Every structure is written in structure tokens, then in C-alpha cells.
Structure 1
Amino acid sequence: MSTLTNLRQRYISDPAFKMFKKVLPPLSDTEREAMEAGSVWWDGELFSGSPNWNTLLAYPKPKLTDEEQMFIDTKLETLLEMLNDYEIVQEDKDLSPEVWAYLRKEKFFSLIISKEYGGLNFSSLANSTIVTKIATRSLSAAVTVMVPNSLGPGELLSHYGTQEQKDYWLPRLAHGEEVPCFALTGPEAGSDAGGIPDMGIVCYGEYQGKEVLGIKVSWNKRYITLSPVATVLGLAFKLQDPDGLIGDKTDIGITCALIPADHQGVEIGERHDPLNMAFMNGPTRGQDVFIPMDWVIGGQEYVGRGWRMLVECLSAGRGISLPALGAAIGHLTARTTGAYSYVRKQFGMSIGNFEGVAQAMGRIGGYTYMLEASRTLTTTSLDQGETPGIVTAIAKYHMTEMARTILNDSMDIHAGRAIQLGPMNYLGHHYFGIPVAITVEGANILTRNLMIFGQGATRCHPFVLKEMESAANPDAKQGAKEFDSLLSKHISFAVGNVAKSVLNAFTGSRFNSVPVSGETAVYYRHLSRMSKALAVAADFAMLSLGGELKRRELVSARLGDVLSHLYLASATLKRFEDEGRQQQDLPMVHYALQHCLHQCGVAFHEVLNNFPRKGVGRTLRTILFPLGIRYDAPSDEVTVQIAKLLMTPGAHRERLTSLCYIGDKESDPVAIMERAFVAMYSVKDIERKLVQATKSGEIPRKVSLTEKLQIALSAGIVTEVEVEKMHNADQLRQQAIQVDNFDADKFKKSGLQPGKAA
């Protein structure tokens, strides 16, 4: 060992090693397993301070196989035609028997099961696409399909089941003979799945007339989707072995088992009412239920390994199912709100031409582009065999929150048209349903405050997790040696990022390399700057706060917001390149990137203003933003451009809303609005003639459309063909802006008679 190395280790590394061990945030076993589960993907590049944009653009373009596309074009379309969401939610409180039978027959519950066992073995992209399209038609149906294809017996068995378990259960699940559910959440354990109180005790008991080794388990679970109709129950519980029947460890840990729903002692069948949605959701309970040991998923070898199994499977499910619902809201609101804003008139013009409405429409269009981009980039990671827990957490949190925002925007624009429930209302049930997506698979508040940066800072950082491992090394001498090597690299990494951050601040990021030319090039430069700023801020935060950082949720949440918006911006740029740099889509791209950079700036401003160590906050501001944080929200110009695009038929609108189910029946609610929109747009030149004639005084202002057309026809302003075309379009418009009404007998009688005094 050289003299220089000795000196560095003695005077720098060893003191730092001792300090690091003191400030090291304590990790529980469940936290450590969560850290170690899954993989680091593009999130690692963003956390590095020097993202390689060519790596991003080299990821495969999202593409369905011919088999997947055929399923979507045929089987899925048939399903969508069968769904009537008003009847499902308001009348039957359930999918129809025909729909249940179709879902089972056509393997909608086995999208992820291998073909070897009779499943479809579809990609994550196909799984997500199918759920997204169903969700534009019916959230209740989408949730019913998505749950067996995310966290559940099918996925757990595929990854961890014994061969005997796979051979028995997977074909039955694939062919719809069994309906699965998975019971994880209980009254005392929601997002803190590691805190589940449900307990199993290793013991001997009787099964099929024989005494066998097994588990006596008690549980009380709730919010379990498909529980009321499930035939097989996946169950997570803590396992103890007080008598040492399977080893010398008493507290074995979280374990997962598969239990037939008709097994003695299993209580199942009751229903919750999740915000008036109609998907099957309910509790399940059991008290001292004995199950054979070979019902543990993976067999006895996998007892105590349930948390690792759940974390890995939750990560994949979190990246597919809930983001799909968020993307569906985008496709639906962009399609229908653009159409309604053109069709609905106020003061003689389309309401979309009012700037207040245009502002909300711009947000809908910009977010929708970003939602679809994030959906496809996230599924790309999963289809590459990755399980990036931080990426999927970002997708779940931000996509459901963006969906909530634009659904509110769409409700505001539709106004009375959106708040009267009935067969024509295509927004109401989604408004009820979006809080469900916000809540499940990790409540959004905790996902943002504890997971994205809280785990990401350790998991994605190039050195911190390795340094933590070296500090925890029982061989102190070896740990110190490893730490010395890592610390040297970490210091070089940090100093480089600080120097480059200062350079970026004074040069406007002009010298950051970019992989493309044109209007989007500037965004790569600024995102690289934000990546370096995040790397510097993360190092300062971890160094100055140490283990306290876990409790400083407002700091970690805001730094997580920076990482999240870097990811969302990356997804947007990737989509733009993958789709051939469509110039008509540039307003949406500009909106998304301006929004993401602005949100990064807002997050940094709030972190630096509120940093627990004031001197650290001021120092970071001097290093990172000496000239101020200058990232504006999306401009009014680009917002209005998007509003106009949403109110214009064309290929751009089809790309933006490609997964929105329209239908061709007279009663399909989205189709009613779409027909009116297309018809009204086709007569815009006729309307223009009428407006000009009204301004010139040839046609009176305050007369009906029929009278205007007759006067215009007599004056030679329009032709008979144009009059008929205009009448037909207006009839469709009138139909589209109506709301449902019902006979009073449908509701509880008040005792009052219509038109009569009390």
C-alpha cells in the first residue's frame, strides 16, 4: 500500500468511516429486502448526474407482437362491445354473467401466465395496453382484469411456486377454472405491509385424515379485490416456529400461502362498496385455520421469504396496472373534452375558444402525451427483464396524480354534462374511481414521501448502498478497506458534479452534450443540469442529515419530485423520438418538458428554502442556482396551441387518444360525442358563412338556427345541400350536449306530486 493511500485512509477514510457508521440510517429487515429487490434502470442514470441520453434512446421502441395485436383487435374489441358501464355500476353492481364467462373463456385472467400452462404469456406492454383500453370503457371491468395479472397467485406461482404447485394451479388459473385473489392489506397494515399482524404458527395438524406438518394461521384482511368471488386465496402472514419444528429460528418472517377458498375456516364472500364502483372487493378472515406446509408458495424452502417475493411482484404490478388506469384517464379526457369543447357553444362560439377553458385543455393534452410516454417507457423496462422499483413507484404515483388533475379539468369543462349520472355520462364513474387508483398498491402520500427518494437515494446512488454494505461488514478491517476505495470514488464523483453544476449555472447549460438537434435539443441540456443538481443535493442531504433524512419526509419528497420529473421528461423525449419526431405533437412535447423543468425548479426552491440545516440550504443555492431558478411553467402560447389541436380532427388526435374506446353503437356515450364533433367540424365553413352574414346584417342575430338557414338559403348564401348538412350536424350536437333524465319512480318518492303544492 502506497504512502499516499495510507495517509488518505488514516486521515480521511477512517474518520469518515467512523462517522458514516454513526449517521448511517438504520435499516429494518423489510427495508433492506426492499432495497435489494428489483433492479436499477434509467433511474440510476438520472441519479448519476451524467445521464447518457443515447442509452435512453437506444431502449427498444414499444411494439406489440402480431399475436398481441390480434387479441386486442378481436377479443378485446368484443369485450368492449359487451360492456355497459352504467348497467354494471348503477344497476347490477357487477359484471354481467356473460362478461364473466367471456373473461374466463378468452383468458383475460391469464395474460401473464406462461403458454406452457395454457396462459397467453403477453408482454408487459400488451398487459398494460389491454387494461388501459378497458379502463376507458369501464374502470370496474379494468380492475377486474388487472388484479389477476398483477400481484396475485398467478405471478407468485410463476416466479416462486414449486413444480407441483405450478402444474396444478397455473392451468386452472389460465383456463378460468379458478378465480384468484391475494390478501395482503388489513386494518393495521396498508402501505406498511411489513407490519401485518396476521400470524401463522408452525405445528402438526390433521389434513385428509393424516397428521402432517403445517401452519395454523389467523388473519383479518380487507380491501381484497376479487375476494367475494375468489375460489383460491393467496395469503400473506407472519410465520413463527416456537417449537423449532423447521429450524432454530422462532420469528421466520412474512410468508405467502395459497389456500382454496372452500377450505374449512376460510371466511370469504362479503363485499365492500369502493366509492360506488362495481368491481368485486371485500374482506376475508380466518381463525386458527390449519393448512399443510406444501401450501406455502414455493414450499417449505420459501417460508419467511414472502416479503422479498411481494416487493418484487408489487414492483412489476405497480408499473403496469395503476399507470394503465392513469393513462386511460388521459386518453378518455383528451378525446372527449376536445370534442365537447368544440361542440358545446356559449355566446355563439365553441367554449374551447375561451382562454380559461383552453388553459385546462392544454393541461389535458400535455399531460396525456406525458402519461402515454411514461406508460410505454415503464413497460419497456419490465419487458427488458428489469424490475426497477423506483421507476414503477414514480409511474404509479405521478400518473395517478396527473390523471386526477386532468379528470378534474375535464369535469370542470363538461360542467353539468359531467355531474348527471346516466348511460350518456362517460366521466362520472371515472371520477368515483380515480381515488381507488390513488390509494392502492401503496398510498400515494407514502409513495412520494418515503419511497421514491427515500429508497431511491440509497438504491440508485452509484456508491451509497455499497458504502452502507461496507460499513455493515462484520470484518471491520475489510469493511474499512472497501470503504476507503468507495469513498475515494465518491469524493471524485461529488466534486465533479459540483464543478459541473457551477459551470451549468453560469453558462445556461450550453455545453452539455445532446443526442439530437432541433427544438427538443435544449431540453436535454437542461435535464442534464437538473440531474447534476440532484446528485449534488442528494450527497449534501445524506451527509448533513444522515439517518435523520428518513424522518425528513418533506425534504425527501421534494428531492423525489426532481427525480420523478426527470423521469417523466425522459419518457416524453423518448416517445417523441420513437414516433418519428411528429411535428404536430411538438406543442404537447413542449408543454410536458416545460412543466417538468418548472416542477424541478419548484421542488429545488422549496428544498433549499426549508432545508433543516440552513447553512446547507444556502450553500446549495449558491452552488446550484447562483443566478436564480428560472424555469417557467408552460407558456400560454403552447397551451392554446394544444387546445386547438384537441378540437381538430386528424392523425395527431388519433395518436394522442389511440386507446380511447369509442364504439359504433347508437348508445355508446363516447361515440355520441365523437359523431357530433366530426359532424360539426365538417360544417365549420357553413357556420362561418352564417356568422359573416349575421355580422353584415343579412341575417338577424336573435333567430333560431332553422330561421337563419332559411334566410341564408333565400339570399343565396348557402345551398340546400349545406342546409341539410347543417341541420344534421346540429341534431347530433343537440344529442351530444344533453344529459340523462329518469322517471321519478326510479328514485325514492318525496311524497310531493309534480306541479302541485304541498
Structure 2
Amino acid sequence: MAQTQTPDEILGIDSVFDKEDLEWAGIVRKWLDENVREKIGDWFLEGTIPARELAEGLGELGVLGMHLDGYGCGGATATQYGLACRELEAIDSGLRSLVSVQGSLAMFALHHWGSEEQKEEWLPRMAQGRALGCFGLTEPDVGSDPAGMRTHAKRDGDDWVLNGAKMWITNAPVADVAIVWAKTEGTDERGRPVVRGFVVPTDTPGVETPEVHRKISLRASITGEIVLDNVRLPASAMLPKAEGLKGPLSCLNEARFGIVFGVTGAARDALTEALRYTGSRIQFDRPISSFQISQQKLAKAFGQYSQITLLAAHLGGLKDSPQGISPQQISLGKMVNADTALNVCRDLRALFGGSGITSEYSPLRHAVNLETVLTYEGTHEVHQLTLGRALTGINAFAN
């Protein structure tokens, strides 16, 4: 039998990432293989995931908020966090979403924009997985234009009273705390309502978090709403350092960075599974990997996987460098990598024939999940317009 090499061996992954970072990724992969891999297909079919149980294990592993400093967080580099996301999404996008929402949205909002009291109350427990968070920005009628949100917060004496609804909120039905963004009565220098963030314990009277059912994508993830009916919060619930959309958008950039790396894991897993299947599936007295059309599909997928892995590594290096990374660069990574990984998984599914539509094999599950990843944290089209504006200097967004 001909000698084979894994995609990462051909790519030379050990020259793309540091040895220590790859060793860390190996630790994450081993834990996931031992605790999650064999169960994920069933969770996907059942439309659920044991979020609390997994959060405690992932907290013990050290991946929750691992790229944040202090308060029980790991203080890891951006690249190390990205490689963890890559291993998580190699299992399932829903699992990576759980970790992204916890660490890059809820915990990052607290860490970057919160008061010292808010940080000390929530971050250590969230890092350990003993408290789950969610992030309320998207609304039933407001997605790509967060400035159009209807959720509002009004002062009543020393308190704030929140009313409104958020939609498509990962972790909401099982969360202990929600970071909710709302318009206030104040206005900025252009006369627009000021958006502020609020730390909302989900057991606060007036808060409901019903679960969204009947999803056909990202099924191994718990998705819900946040319904706010005259929710009264003390003044201390407001994130003191966040004023305007800069607050929530900074959190979204953190989550998008995790996606840039994460989707490379889905593509790698689909390619690895396709290589294994085509090498063992016999038709016409030979493995189907021996046919030219199979090798063409495999080689194309490997080329695309290599490209998005190298782009992720480059952006990780930028984020870890003194110069940092720009929102446009993150948009580039999210736009290219999510779309390319989706196409890789779609194309490879065909190599499995009828077996490819079952939960026994991962490419179609990854492809279905990546339809959601292509849409959330800024749709594919929004990132195209973001880069179009950077390239041309012309804003094509509606004013």
C-alpha cells in the first residue's frame, strides 16, 4: 500500500505554529476525543447538548476565557485560543459556539467593559464553568443593523428598567447571566440614543429565556431568546466602560477571531474522515480513493484547507503582535474561512455516497452547521461590504 501523509503533515503544520502551541492543541484534542467525539452525532440528532456538564469539563481543561488575563482566566495568546477553537469545531460548531459565547462574548464584555465588582463576581466562576453566560444583541427584527435595536433601558430613580427581546442567543436557556445591550434615553453628539450594556442575572424577575426549537443547523447547541419585561436592575448592573456600539462590536470581533480558526477544524475533520472512508470503501474491486475524480476532490479540499489554515495563522500572529489586528482583517478571515470551509465540507460529502447523509460521518453535519456560522457574527454579505468599504473608501451600507 502506498505511503500516506495527513493533511497537516503535507502542509507542514509544525512550521506554521509553534511546538508549544501545537502541544496545547493536542491536549484539547485528546480531551475532546475522550469525552465528546463519540457522542456528538447523537446530540446533533437529539437537538441538544449537556452544556453545564461540558462547561465544567472545559473549565477544568482551561479553555473558557483562556485568552483573558486574571480573575481565574488563563492569559493565553490569541493563537493558542484560536487553536483551541480549531479543535472544538473539529468536533462540532455547536461546541465551539458554547465556548465562544462564554469566553469571547460574555466574559470578554465583563473583562473589557465591566466594573471591578462585576468582574470579581462573575469571571472566576465563568472561567471554571460553574456559571454560564450569554450575550444579547440580536433581536427578532434586528440583525445586521444593531443600531436599530428596540430593547431599551430607562432610569427609574437609582435603578434601570429594561424592556425588549433578544433572539438567536446561544446558551440563553441555560445561562446564569446575560450581557444585554439596550438603548438608553441619553443621546450622543449626533443625537442618537446611547447603547449601554447591562449585566442581567437570568433569575431576575421579568427575565425569560425560552428555547428555540426545530433548528436544522447548529443542533448540538442550546439556542434561545431573552425576553425582558420591566426588568429592574440596580445602577451597578450597567457596564461602566461601554458606551455606544463600540462595546458590543468589540466583543463580536473577539468571537469572529475564534471562528477564523474554528472553521479550519471543521474542514480538517471532514477531510480526514473523507480520506479514511475513501481508502476503505471498495467499489469495482478497488478503493474509491484510487479513482481520479476522488483524488481530484480530495486534493482540491486539501488546497482549500491549507489556504484557510495559513490565513488563520497569519491573523493569529497579527493579533499577538504589538501592532494588533484590525476589524477589517478579522472580517477578511471570517468571510474567507467560513465560506471556504463550508464549500470543503459540501464537496467532500459527495464522496460518501448515501452514507454521507447519516450522522455516522461528519462532513454533512459540519456543512449544515457552517451554514449558521456563515450567517452569525456578521453575515457573509456584511463582511463583503466591510471589506468593500476598506478597499474603495465608499460606504455601501444603508445610511
Q: Give unmatched runs, 5+ long, in structure 2.
A: 1-14
Which residue in the other structure is 2:124 paired with? 171
What is the DSSP-based 3-state SS (H/G/I as helix, E as strand, rest coil) of the residue aligned with 1:108? Answer: coil
Deviation at 1:387, TM superposition (A): 3.3
Amino acid at match of 1:238: K
Which residue in the other structure is 1:137 paired with? 91
What is the DSSP-based 3-state SS (H/G/I as helix, E as strand, rest coil) of the residue aligned with 2:289? Answer: helix
Residues 223 and 272 in structure 1, CA contact (< 8 A), matched pair in contact too: no
* C-alpha spacing 1:258/1:433, structure 2 compared with 1 (3 Å): same
Residues 24 and 80 in structure 2, CA contact (< 8 A), matched pair in contact too: no
Amino acid at match of 1:280: I
- More helix per residue: 1 or 2? 1
Deviation at 1:409, TM superposition (A): 1.1
Alignment of 1:90 with 2:45, yes or no, is: yes
Q: Which deviations, in whole Å up to 9, do the C-alpha atoms of 1:278-315 show, x marking residues without a partner? A: 21111111122222222111x2xx46x14112222322
Amino acid at match of 1:278: A
* C-alpha spacing 1:73/1:355, structure 2 compared with 1 (3 Å): closer
Alignment of 1:182 with 2:135, yes or no, is: yes
Distance across 1 between alignment mates of 2:125 and 2:215: 29
Deviation at 1:392, TM superposition (A): 0.7
What is the DSSP-based 3-state SS (H/G/I as helix, E as strand, rest coil) of the residue aligned with 1:441? Answer: coil
Residues 186 and 194 in structure 2, CA contact (< 8 A), matched pair in contact too: no
Amino acid at match of 1:362: A
Match of 2:197 among 251, 256, 266: 256
> How many percent identity over aligned positions?
19
Alignment of 1:351 with 2:288, yes or no, is: yes
Amino acid at match of 2:375: T
Amino acid at match of 1:149: G
Distance across 2 between alignment mates of 1:411 and 1:135: 17
Alignment of 1:238 with 2:183, yes or no, is: yes
Distance across 1 between alignment mates of 2:52 and 2:123: 23
* C-alpha spacing 1:439/1:249, structure 2 compared with 1 (3 Å): closer
Distance across 2 between alignment mates of 1:365 and 1:105: 34
Deviation at 1:390, TM superposition (A): 0.8
Alignment of 1:217 with 2:171, yes or no, is: no
Q: Which deviations, in whole Å up to 9, do the C-alpha atoms of 1:360-418 show, x marking residues without a partner? A: 22210100111110111111111125131111111111111111111111111111121
Distance across 2 between alignment mates of 1:130 and 1:221: 28
* C-alpha spacing 1:436/1:88, structure 2 compared with 1 (3 Å): same
Distance across 2 between alignment mates of 1:408 and 1:214: 51
Distance across 2 between alignment mates of 1:249 and 1:202: 21
Deviation at 1:331, TM superposition (A): 0.9
Distance across 1 between alignment mates of 2:335 and 2:181: 24
Which residue in the other structure is 2:102 paired with? 148
Deviation at 1:438, TM superposition (A): 0.7
Q: Which runs of 4+ in 1 moved over 6 A?
A: 247-250
1:79-478 matches, cutoff 5 A: 79-83=32-36, 84-91=39-46, 93-95=48-50, 98-114=53-69, 116-152=70-106, 154-204=107-157, 213-241=158-186, 251-275=192-216, 277-297=219-239, 299=240, 302=241, 305-320=243-258, 322-384=259-321, 386-421=324-359, 424-448=360-384, 450-454=385-389, 456-457=390-391
Distance across 2 between alignment mates of 1:419 and 1:332: 16
1:622-641 matches, cutoff 5 A: none
Q: Which deviations, in whole Å up to 9, do the C-alpha atoms of 1:546-595 show, x marking residues without a partner? A: x6x6269xxxxxxxxxxxxxxxxxxxxxxxxxxxxxxxxxxxxxxxxxxx
1:482-497 matches, cutoff 5 A: none
Which residue in the other structure is 2:3 paired with? none
Distance across 1 between alignment mates of 2:381 and 2:213: 23
Alignment of 1:63 with 2:18, yes or no, is: yes
Deviation at 1:107, TM superposition (A): 3.7
* C-alpha spacing 1:225/1:264, structure 2 compared with 1 (3 Å): same
Distance across 1 between alignment mates of 2:376 and 2:216: 13
Amino acid at match of 1:175: Q
* C-alpha spacing 1:436/1:279, structure 2 compared with 1 (3 Å): same
* C-alpha spacing 1:389/1:412, structure 2 compared with 1 (3 Å): same
What is the DSSP-based 3-state SS (H/G/I as helix, E as strand, rest coil) of the residue aligned with 1:259? Answer: strand
Distance across 2 between alignment mates of 1:354 and 1:130: 35
Distance across 2 between alignment mates of 1:230 and 1:252: 28
Residues 107 and 176 in structure 1, CA contact (< 8 A), matched pair in contact too: no
Amino acid at match of 1:360: K
Residues 48 and 220 in structure 2, CA contact (< 8 A), matched pair in contact too: yes
* C-alpha spacing 1:335/1:70, structure 2 compared with 1 (3 Å): closer
Distance across 1 between alignment mates of 2:221 and 2:314: 28
Distance across 1 between alignment mates of 2:123 and 2:168: 24
- More strand per residue: 1 or 2? 2
Residue correspondences, number: 380
Deviation at 1:85, TM superposition (A): 1.0
Amino acid at match of 1:263: T
Q: Which deviations, in whole Å up to 9, do the C-alpha atoms of 1:618-674 show, x marking residues without a partner? A: xxxxxxxxxxxxxxxxxxxxxxxxxxxxxxxxxxxxxxxxxxxxxxxxxxxxxxxxx
Deviation at 1:133, TM superposition (A): 1.2
Amino acid at match of 2:327: G
What is the DSSP-based 3-state SS (H/G/I as helix, E as strand, rest coil) of the residue aligned with 1:93? Answer: coil
Residues 165 and 228 in structure 2, CA contact (< 8 A), matched pair in contact too: yes
Distance across 2 between alignment mates of 1:318 and 1:75: 20
Which residue in the other structure is 1:687 paired with? none
Residues 312 and 387 in structure 1, CA contact (< 8 A), matched pair in contact too: no
Amino acid at match of 2:249: V
* C-alpha spacing 1:330/1:241, structure 2 compared with 1 (3 Å): closer
Residues 90 and 269 in structure 2, CA contact (< 8 A), matched pair in contact too: yes
What is the DSSP-based 3-state SS (H/G/I as helix, E as strand, rest coil) of the residue aligned with 1:395? Answer: helix
Q: Give unmatched runs, 5+ long, in structure 1.
A: 1-59, 205-212, 458-537, 553-758
RMSD of the TM alignment (CA)?
2.7
What is the DSSP-based 3-state SS (H/G/I as helix, E as strand, rest coil) of the residue aligned with 2:245? Answer: helix
Amino acid at match of 1:157: L
Deviation at 1:248, TM superposition (A): 10
Deviation at 1:451, TM superposition (A): 0.9
Bigger Rg, structure 1 or 2: 1
Q: Which deviations, in whole Å up to 9, do the C-alpha atoms of 1:498-550 show, x marking residues without a partner? A: xxxxxxxxxxxxxxxxxxxxxxxxxxxxxxxxxxxxxxxx4xxx6xxxx6x62
Q: Which deviations, in whole Å up to 9, do the C-alpha atoms of 1:221-276 show, x marking residues without a partner? A: 1100010100001001111149xxxx999754111111111111111242344325
Distance across 2 between alignment mates of 1:551 and 1:428: 33
1:725-736 matches, cutoff 5 A: none
Amino acid at match of 1:317: A
Distance across 1 between alignment mates of 2:42 and 2:276: 25
Residues 199 and 218 in structure 1, CA contact (< 8 A), matched pair in contact too: yes
Amino acid at match of 2:334: K
